[in-house]
Amino acid sequence: MMYIYLSGPPSKLYEESSEVKVTVRPGMALEDMSKEALSDPEKFWAEQARGLDWHRQWDRVLDWNPPFARWFSGGLLNASVNCLDRHVTTETKNKAAIIWESESGESRTLTYFQLYRYVNRFANVLKGLGVQKGDRVTIYMPMVPELPVAMLACARIGATHSVVFSGFSSQALVDRVNDAQSKVIVTADGGFRKGKLVDLKRVVDESLAQTPSVQHVVVFRRAGNDVRMGPKDVWWHEAIEKAPMFCPPEMVESTHPLYILYTSGTTGKPKGVMHGTAGYLVHLYATAKWVFDFNKSDIFFCTADIGWVTGHSYIVYAPLMHGITEIMYDGAPDYPRPDRYWAVAEKHGATILYTTPTALRMYMKYGDAIPNSFDLSFLRLLGTVGEPINPEVWQWYFTTIGKERCPIIDTWWQTETGGIMLSACTGVDFVPMKPGSATFPVPGVDAVVVDDSGSPVPPGTKGYLVVRKPWPGMLLSLWGDDEKYRKTYWSKFEGVYYPGDYALVDKDGYLWLLGRADDVLKVAGHRLGTMELESAFVAHKAIAEAAVASRPDSTKGESIIAFLVAKEGVAASDALRKDIVEHIRKTVGPIATPDEVYFVGKLPKTRSGKIMRRLLKAIASGDKIGDITTLEDGAAIDEVRHAYDELKKAVG
């Protein structure tokens, strides 16, 4: 089946003048479902909650004491039971839960039953170390199956997990362990990244002097690294050997904190987002069904790292609740060759691929021949998350990867929202796609675009995305900081959730995300979204990646500075610079003419792959650069600084 999509010239994120080929409305089934959901949200979400296994049913669906929501209060349940126990008495018992693949091409498969046993035993290990309901456990592990095992083991005994991305160094770990006051750290003797050993145990050792709450460290043997075992250290394999086979699940209240997870730190210091149990799981269960249309034969490949929310929600909890098979990949997308996602998808027959625009831009840079050399014919659905997808990139994903067979779902959500909030719902109804639009809110989510006074804006007008009603996946609060929670998300508009993203609704009701609300340039009285501008640069045939920043300018307000990464084999030159400026003038308008254009080898990104524009802006205006603990590669700052200084010298 050929999926219809609407396309205008894919030069910007939203092309106001684009010729829309077909006038569409959302599919009726989706529209009806959304209407019904919003007319009686409690009834609607209660129906969704019946998809979970409860030890005791809830008394009330929602207690809403703005900005604090308590979903399904009075209910008792356990997250690990919903991911594992529910399957081990059915045919799913013997089915692959996790197919793990390493960078070097090694694989391991765990069935639901094996995972169940493993989680029970590790839960007993944690219990044996004195971990009790309500205690926090920091998990600092590479992408191995033992990472979800440790998370689910925490959930089984009612401990709150706090996963720290394994690429972080000691300071980031210390901050997060101390913030959560964790009793135990679960780690490994090492991990691998681009063929190099990442010495996780050494980072943990370094942190111990500054993390007095930690009583024990459990060390999983992954790398064969020669580590020093100290007085607090316990080998995973030795402890598990002695652990009993079954651990009775601790039934927790619906609002019991399942985990703490820190945001990416794209806009500032990372925030400790706290998620409860029942609401969070209900949201995931429902959205996974609607958005991905999970079915029994699916092999789901979500490329996220479990250190980020996408991995928590759509590698660990949602797919396991649904009893489907998933691929877990431990490695970089481009090592040893820039083909890993395609190779893994081919080898294991992935049916759904869920990845990021930044990974796609990287692959696009290497051309079509690489993906074309793999058999990707089992793919039926393609998804993205994390950033707006540039229409150029969307088009490539659709044509080169999906061969125009697979719909693309662009899913907008945040660490704070727990699960997907805006997306096409292929499991509910078919809606025509528009490259670059996240389409509509999922049923039950009341998202609209408003102006500064909080009133909905007319179609085609930029404004702030907000959510007017509480939803089950929403964060409980920020860990230990209710005041910051209130201030960050609930103070811009009274009683309304403010995600901090810029958006618009087009005349067909489709939502377009236009980047961070605080990432807007004001040039000669015009407001330009940085994301939109970057998309326009990426639409130039020589450009693979772009980041736009600004500097205060006495006449124009702000002047535009562009940092560009050229495609493989393209040489940076003045002629190319001129051509690009001309391209921007033509596609966006003279107002968007960049004042300075720099070519760089890489851009400063967060570990989750997002461009840290605040950093570029700081460099360009000579300000302090702030918290960079989540920066992917420190060398990128130097490179940008260098390119900047060189050009400054050249132009005097």
With CB under 5 to 8 Å by kind, the binding choice for 396 among Mg ion, ligand ATP, none is none
| Element at 547 (helix H, strand E) | strand 543-553
- Nearest alpha-carbon partner for 500 in 515, 513, 517, 485: 517
CB of 308 to Mg ion, least distance (A): 11
**Of 308 and 396, CB closest to Mg ion:** 308
- Partners of 543 in the β-ladder: 566
Helix, strand, or coil (residue 622): coil
The footprint of ligand ATP (CB under 6 A) covers 263-268, 270-271, 308-309, 385-388, 410-415, 438, 499-501, 513, 516, 608, 610
CB of 418 to Mg ion, least distance (A): 13
Binding region for Mg ion (CB under 5 A) out of 149-157, 256-264, 301-309, 544-552: 256-264
- Nearest alpha-carbon partner for 88 in 64, 61, 60, 118: 118
With CB under 5 to 8 Å by kind, the binding choice for 165 among Mg ion, ligand ATP, none is none
With CB under 5 to 8 Å by kind, the binding choice for 412 among Mg ion, ligand ATP, none is ligand ATP
With CB under 5 to 8 Å by kind, the binding choice for 550 among ligand ATP, Mg ion, none is none
Distance CA 349, CA 374 (A): 11
CB of 610 to ligand ATP, least distance (A): 5
DSSP state of 256: S
Which residues fall within 8 angstroms of residue 649, CB to CB, at 6 or more apart?
none
Cβ atoms of 30 and 606 closer than 8 Å: no
**Of 80 and 162, CB closest to ligand ATP:** 162
CB of 517 to ligand ATP, least distance (A): 9
Which residues fall within 8 angstroms of residue 651, CB to CB, at 6 or more apart?
none
Distance CA 576, CA 579 (A): 5
- Nearest alpha-carbon partner for 315 in 112, 143, 81: 143
Q: What is the pattern of x (binds Mg ion, CB under 5 A) and - over residues 260-289?
A: ---x--------------------------
**Of 263 and 437, CB closest to Mg ion:** 263
How many residues belong to the site for Mg ion (CB under 5 A)?
Answer: 1
Binding region for Mg ion (CB under 5 A) out of 66-74, 259-267, 366-374, 423-431: 259-267
**Of 321 and 467, CB closest to ligand ATP:** 467
Cβ atoms of 423 and 410 closer than 8 Å: yes
Q: In what order do the strands lie in the sheet with 463-467?
A: 447-450, 463-467, 501-505, 511-516
With CB under 5 to 8 Å by kind, the binding choice for 501 among ligand ATP, Mg ion, none is ligand ATP
Residue nearest to Mg ion (CB): 263
Cβ atoms of 95 and 109 closer than 8 Å: no
CB of 16 to ligand ATP, least distance (A): 18
**Of 82 and 358, CB closest to ligand ATP:** 358
CB of 158 to ligand ATP, least distance (A): 26
CB of 499 to ligand ATP, least distance (A): 5
Helix, strand, or coil (residue 147): helix
Which residues fall within 8 angstroms of residue 242, CB to CB, at 6 or more apart?
none
Distance CA 491, CA 469 (A): 15
With CB under 5 to 8 Å by kind, the binding choice for 519 among Mg ion, ligand ATP, none is none
With CB under 5 to 8 Å by kind, the binding choice for 34 among ligand ATP, Mg ion, none is none
Distance CA 611, CA 547 (A): 7
CB of 512 to ligand ATP, least distance (A): 9
Residues that bind Mg ion in the complex, under the rule CB under 5 A: 263
